[in-house]
Structure 1
Amino acid sequence: MTKSERASQIWAVLAFAAKNRQSLTYGILSKLIGVPAAGLGKLLEPIQSYCLIEGLPPLTILVVQQDTGLPGSGFTGAKAEEFAKDQMKVFSFDWIELGNPQPEKLEKAVQERPSNG
């Protein structure tokens, strides 16, 4: 499975989490999709880039560290001081209605706007 295909898979998980107003730790997301937590940053980047390009709320804000409850250092989709406000925007957005961008769109987004730290 390519990086963009995995990102598309993660998008669906995050869209469902947003609908249920939940955040996920890297560990939980790792178990849900079968990828080591240490490798998630590179898989979240296409989602982050796509959201930035399309002017969408930062969907990857829902993936947080167990000990801090905050996204990892590669998250650049929002400023730290606006974390709660931006997370509420993600919870309020209708991700299910938007649909899942296909892997090609996610791949193009990361090429157009690399965003991982």
Structure 2
Amino acid sequence: MNYCELNGLPPLTVLVVEKYLGVPGEGLITVKNPDFERERVYDYDWFNVYPPDETEFAQALTAKL
């Protein structure tokens, strides 16, 4: 969630939904419109993004948003 936000990417965590409700859980706090953001994830050209390494994820986790 933090890595995507810091790098201007659609939030991949919007794809994780509750089993019965089909919506993201309460832990997804950076998204105001889950349906819109989910479509952004589907439409994004992910093949043009170089995969981050564990250091980049760690930096994103500790960064202040």
Q: What TM bracket, shorter-length normalisation?
A: 0.7 to 0.9
TM-score normalised per structure 1: 0.51
Unmatched tracts of structure 1, length 5 or more: 1-47
Separation in 2, partners of 1:68, 1:113: 31
Separation in 2, partners of 1:64, 1:113: 26
**Hey, what does 1:72 align to over in structure 2?**
25
* Equivalent residue pairs, number: 65
For residues 80-110 of structure 1, give each alpha carbon's deviation from its aligned partner in whole angstroms, at most 9, with x where no partner exists.
xx11111100000112321321110001001
Q: How does 1:23-102 map to 2 (within 5 A)?
A: 48-79=1-32, 82-102=33-53
Identical residues among aligned pairs (%):
32
**Hey, what does 1:104 align to over in structure 2?**
55
TM-score normalised per structure 2: 0.87
Unmatched tracts of structure 2, length 5 or more: none
Runs of 4+ in 1 over 3 A off after TM superposition: none
